[in-house]
Amino acid sequence: MDLSDWDRFAAGGLDEKMGLELFELTPERARGRMPVQGNTQPFGLWHGGASCVLAESLASLAAVAAAGEGGTAYGVDINATHHAPARSGWVNGEATAIRIGGSLGTWEVILTDDHGQRLCTARVTCALRRPRRSA
């Protein structure tokens, strides 16, 4: 999967509902953003759960790219530390591979606001299911 494949996977899913815009997609790195508006908790701040959705979405998409054509991937672990709030604008995310192995991959995801202030640091591990090769 690459960036050109994104539209056929996004239709109707949580990423679409939350307004994910995807800018870059490779096994080693995925970049995207979500709007703060519509993704807040009752007090008007960016929701911590939205941080987890953005982090897991970016890492999982990179994981699918790492699994290769015909492969699949799914998240098995996420850890997120919230550093600062956001009240408006966009939350930008970048997932960078820490290690991509045969059956697991781990990505560090940094989320920032429009001014570059770090809002969240996450680590996401995904199971990779690569297609079986015929002999």
Active site residues: 56
Q: What value, to the nearest 5°, has the Cα angle with vertex 102 and ends 129 and 78?
A: 70
Beta strands in 1-135 (DSSP E): 21-25, 29-35, 72-82, 90-100, 104-112, 118-129
User: How far apart are alpha carbons 129 and 103 in whole angstroms?
Assistant: 6
Q: Are 83 and 113 in contact (CB under 8 A)?
A: no
